[in-house]
Amino acid sequence: MDNLELSYRHADSAFHRMSPFAKMLYITAVSLAAIFNSSLYVGAFLFLFTLVCAAFFSGVSLRTYWTFGKVIMPFILILALIFPFFYKEHLTVGSTSIAIHTPIKDLSWSALGFGALLALRFLAIGVSGLTFAFTTHPTDLVQNFSKRGLDYRFVHAPVLGLVLFPSFLELARDISTTQRIRDLGQDRNWLARKLLRLKHLAFALLVLGLRRGQTQAMALDIRGYGAHKTRTFMRPMPNSRAGIVFGWACFAAGLLYLVLQLGNLSGKMPWDLG
Amino acid sequence: MPEPALVVEDYSFWYKVGEGERVLALDDVSFEVAKGELLLVLGTSGAGKSTLALNLVGIYPDFFGGWNQGRILVNHPRRGVVNRRQLDQGERFRTVNMLFQNPEDQIVTLTVEEEIGFALENYLVPVAEIGARIDRALDLVGLDGFRERSTLKLSGGEKQRVALAAMLALEPSVLILDEPTSNLDPVGTAEVLEAVDRIRERLDITLILVEHEVDEVFNKVDRVLLVDGLKVLGPYAPRTFLEERGLAVRDHMGLWIPQAAEVALGLRQAGLDLGPLPLTGDELVTALRAGSGTNGARASAGPAPQAATQPLRTPGETVIELRDVEFSYPSRSAVLHGLNLDIRRGELLAVVGQNGSGKSTLAAQLNGILKPTRGEVLVHGKPTTSYRFTDLARRVAYIFQMPEKQFIRNSVHDEMAHGLSALKLPSDQIAARVDDFLQRVRLAERRDASPYLLSHGQKRRLSVACMVIAEPEVVILDEPTFGQDWQQAQRLMDLLRRLADDGAAVVFITHDMRLVAQYADRCAALCDGQVIYDGTPAGLFGRPEVLARTKLKAPPVYHFSRELLGEPVLRTSDLQYRIQEHARG
């Protein structure tokens, strides 16, 4: 798990100097454009744009991005290879001539393009999301949204999640090992055994998680969590003017593209599989 | 009369157990803690030490409900001695605060700096002041230079010291440390106790320490408080406490007492009075060399001693062989490096070493939870890779450190019967064997209870019973006595001894060297994924270079018996016997 620790990487880059809010605007813009996009060219542009941002402006090596990218790559390949079989002429590019003959269905160039579009969509969102995770200190996130009027306890919850996630995973792994050691459901068929083990895992995680949560809540209370409506933040929050301009510019462009796309859609959304 | 830091007056507390129902947990408790004092709180597992601590902090009844009666007064830095109720929540926690047993429960941020600053930020401490307080707190716990470190990558001892620093940064008048070393290896324990010493030297703070590691702390504390059922007795001066109650708390309550005092009290019972009761090995040696009161000793009726240098028991048949085992987790460097070890029937084998040395990874190799990346683990000559996992799991039982992880059924009875049902035994045989085991582990009265609702000691006994009831050939236990008092630990180890005597191979991972000295037939010391020592416990304690590499410490009796007798013994009863023999001439 060490390599998959989804946490902040210390560096001094354009993205590190941006406020979390500005980066949220960037991600929102990329996501809006990617989700509502029906053009392969725009999809490729979005992916390249996020890749350039990651490579040259995030201060994090592409190798680190790849550590995560390779984990979700099978999922993206599945999208790219399976969804062409469900293609219903959603794309604005690609000819209808047959590109590949398969035993299930003959696939056109536009069907293959549809698969590629789906893959590019998730790649763009994934890369921009990783840029956000690698360049945003969790405390800055809490601070930024707290200063924008959100209760800091609410925003701190994801940070707690990041801290607790590894131990929760370890607990789940140990419980699964116990189920194997003690052969839970040995007298049942494969499916019934899996269901029983899943039910037990959920119950054990709930009981042990609640107990742990109670202790954590106690630990938070005695350290003044929620004692006041606000709190001080010792860490100065990055808030570059260029970052804000970039964030709003991306957001405006994303919004504009969305409006144009909604106007051009002929009753079918690009993700509607019909 | 010194100025008080904390005064508890006629205080009672009831847990809420249901709608309108309550159970008395503390009954009419009164005591006072002086400013700057270090108070040790003793009591059996489940006696109510943590309940008392949580009441002193105000977690009970304010956060988790319950009813209380009586008063708790605290010495507020500006307002003097006031009823805790007169302070708001923030003031209360900044006056009396608490460090939990498990540092994992207390760490809520990603870096050391944030962790220590967390409470200060919550209490609106000015930003300009926070940095200086963090540096001061880190210095106190001996973690200078750790400010930027990730909390996810600290060792157990470091985590506990970070949690301690986070409390110290708040500058409370009274700090309660609830078994701060129970999750730690010997080196982590030593680090935390050194930090406590430093805090006492430099700060005007009152410390209340709940602790089982009495050998390390008894000569440092000012007074001792005993939690006994619903009552709280004391505080006593440490020497007075041991003089008056030492043997009673050991024999009837099952608590640990310092080994030097244990020997002296035993000698006193046999007619050898050493004068003022020694608390440390050095004091015992001095008292014995002074020869006070050695006349008139009665002949010992105790068991003949076991020499520390006693050879290994005659080994039984080898059940598991590890041959040049290497193992690494994906994307990490190797955890085990060419490890060789034999596991034999009839033996209690202690696997020791500091946290991260590969002990748990080794244990997981034995029953096929993990498979070696190189080398072989052979069970009865066949590699673990050629067994079906469930078949191997029936032969080699693995018992987790945290018993709750092991429960898969809804009642104590079903939990025990599960392993036997898997063997397809007739129902009358299953019923008879479950009843027998329920009696043996003293859980007959809880047979229909949910395993999750048992006390910690009961959970531990159940977790062991449900794995050994099917008579596995090998039993592996990860920290079997974690969080248990001496009596519970002894009962459990006696049960394991019987299993070994009946022909099972028992492997236990532990940090507790007193336990190793008393029970282990053989010891395997791990360092960086290799067995660097395989032999008797006495042999291990006699190898300073191995102890240094594995960061282990011999129990105190080993050192002071060597000084007294010229050769070491491992048990206090053995030393006592030898001294009495010597006194008889």
Mean pLDDT of B376-386: 91
User: How many structural domains compose chain A?
Assistant: 2
Do A109 and A244 lie in a common domain?
A: yes
pLDDT at B1: 62
- What does the pLDDT read at residue A6? 57
pLDDT of residue A272: 46
Say if B4-243 and B318-535 have the same CATH topology.
Answer: yes
Same domain assignment for residues A173 and A97 = no
Report whether pLDDT(A97) > 60: yes
User: Look-up: residue for tokens 């002193």?
Assistant: B56
Span A219-241, pLDDT tens digits: 888 888 888 888 888 888 898 99
Domain membership flag for residue A273: no
Q: What is the pLDDT of residues A142-152, one digit of tens each?
A: 888 888 888 88
Q: Are residues A166 and A33 in the same domain?
A: no
Question: Does residue A215 share a domain with residue A260?
Answer: no
Number of H helices, E strands in chain B: 22, 20
* A104 and A206 housed in the same domain: no
Helix axes B281-290, B259-269, angle to 10 degrees: 30
Residue of A216, A223, A225, A235 to mutate when probing chain B, most B C-beta within 10 A: A223
Q: Are B478 and B363 in contact (CB under 8 A)?
A: yes
- Burial annotation B178-187 (CB, 10 A radius, 16+ → b, else e): bbbbbbbbbb
Question: Domain check: are A20 and A133 in the same one?
Answer: yes
Mean pLDDT for B311-340 is 81
**Cis-peptide, bond into residue B235, ω within 30° of zero:** yes
For residues A12 and A124, state if they share a domain.
yes
**Pair A22, A101 in one domain:** yes
What pLDDT digit, counting tens, does each position of B42-83 carry? 988 777 888 899 899 888 888 878 889 999 999 888 888 888
- Is residue B395's pLDDT more than 60? yes
Q: Tell the CATH topology of B318-535.
A: Rossmann fold (3.40.50)
The residue of chain B with its CA nearest to that of A236 is B127
- Segment (H or E) for A29: helix A20-36
Q: What angle do CA B492, B497, B498 make, to 5 degrees?
A: 100
pLDDT of residue A4: 40
Closest CA to B565 of B545, B552, B550, B583: B583
Shortest CB distance from A167 goes to which of B104, B170, B331?
A: B104
Q: How far is CA B278 from the centre of its chain?
A: 24
Confidence class for position A186, pLDDT limits 50, 70, 90: confident
A84 in any annotated domain: yes
Q: What is the pTM of this model?
A: 0.80
In a domain, A233, yes or no: no
Per-residue pLDDT tens over the stretch A128-176 = 999 999 999 888 888 888 888 888 888 887 777 777 777 788 888 888 8
Complex ipTM? 0.77
Q: Is residue A274 part of a domain?
A: no
Answer whether residue A259 is part of any domain: yes
Query: Are A222 and B126 within 8 A, CB to CB?
Result: no
Task: Please tell me which residue of chain A has the smallest CA distance to B401.
Answer: A174
In a domain, A229, yes or no: no
Q: How far apart are CA B452 and CA B449, in angstroms?
A: 8
pLDDT at B190: 82
Mutate to test the interface with B, among A141, A232, A233 (most CBs of B within 10 A): A232
What is the distance between the alpha carbons of residues B476 and B298, in angstroms, rounded to a whole number? 43
Give yes or no for residue A57 having a pLDDT over 70: yes
pLDDT of residue B485: 75
> CA–CA separation, B347 vs A123, rounded Å?
57
Are both A10 and A34 inside the same structural domain? Answer: yes
Q: Give the pLDDT band of residue B534 (cuts 50, 70, 90).
A: very high
Chain B, nearest residue to A205 by Cα: B405
Question: Residue B417's closest chain A neighbor by CA?
Answer: A182
Report the pLDDT value the prediction gives residue B301, as an integer from 0 to 100: 40
* Integer angstrom CA distances of residue B473 from B211, B284, B348, B391, B429: 36, 43, 13, 12, 20
Nearest Cβ partner for A218 among B59, B113, B114: B59
Mean model confidence pLDDT for chain B: 85
Question: Considering only CA atoms, which of B188, B176, B194 is closest in space to residue B99?
Answer: B176
pLDDT given for residue B306 in this prediction: 54
Give the tens place of pLDDT for each residue, B416-461: 998 888 778 888 889 999 999 898 888 888 889 889 888 777 888 8
Over residues B204-255, the pLDDT tens digits come to 899 999 987 788 888 889 999 999 878 888 799 999 999 988 888 888 888 8
More confident residue, B493 or A92: B493
pLDDT at B316: 82
Check B408 against A178: CB less than 8 A apart. Answer: yes
H, E, C per residue of A6-17 = CCCCCCCCHHHH
From the list A175, A181, A233, which residue is nearest B393 (CB)?
A181
B211, B223, B288, B571: which is closest to B278 by C-alpha? Answer: B288
What residues of chain B lie within 8 A of the CB of A184, using their CB?
408
Tell me the pLDDT tens digit for each residue of B266-277.
Answer: 888 888 888 888
- Chain A neighbors of B113, CB-CB under 8 A: 234
Instruction: Give the containing element (helix H, strand E) for B31.
Output: strand B21-34
Residue A269 covered by a domain: no
Same-domain status, A158 and A62: no
Q: Which of A221, A223, A232 sits opposite B126 (nearest CB)?
A: A232
In the predicted structure, residue A1 carries a pLDDT above the cut 50: no
Do A163 and B400 count as a contact with CB atoms less than 8 A apart? no
- Chain B residues whose CB is inside 8 A of the A200 CB are 408
In a domain, A63, yes or no: yes
A30-39, A197-206, B301-310: least confidently modelled range: B301-310
Question: Inter-chain contact A228–B151, Cβ cutoff 8 Å?
Answer: no
Residue B267 burial class via C-beta count within 10 angstroms: exposed 0-12, middle 13-18, buried 19 and up:
buried
Record: contact A178-B105, CB cut-off 8 A? no
CATH superfamily of B4-243: P-loop containing nucleotide triphosphate hydrolases (3.40.50.300)
Name every chain A residue with its beta carbon within 8 A of the beta carbon of B131. 234
Which 3 state secondary structure label does DSSP give B384? helix
In terms of residue numbers, what domain contains A101? 2-137+239-264
DSSP state of B397: E
Residue of B nearest to A187 (CA): B422
Per-residue confidence (pLDDT) for residue B182, from 0 to 100: 78
**B297 falls in which pLDDT band (50, 70, 90)?**
very low
What does the pLDDT look like over B150-199, one tens digit per residue?
A: 887 787 778 888 998 999 998 889 999 988 887 777 777 888 888 888 88
Q: Which long-range contacts does A45-49 make (Cβ < 8 Å, 24+ apart)?
A: A46/A120, A46/A121, A46/A124, A47/A120, A47/A123, A47/A124, A47/A127, A49/A124
The mean per-residue pLDDT over the stretch A183-208 comes to 87
Distance from CA of A157 to the nearest CA of B (A): 10
Pairing status of strand B21-34 against strand B4-18 = antiparallel
In chain B, what residues touch A180 (CB-CB under 8 Å)? 369, 389-390, 393
Provide the residue ranges of all domains of chain B, joining segments of one domain with +. 4-243, 258-311+552-585, 318-535
Together in a domain, A255 and A123: yes
Beta carbons of B45 and B488 less than 8 angstroms apart: yes
State mean pLDDT over B371-394: 89
Task: Assign residue B229 a region (left: φ > 0; alpha: ψ between -120 and 50; beta: otherwise).
Answer: left
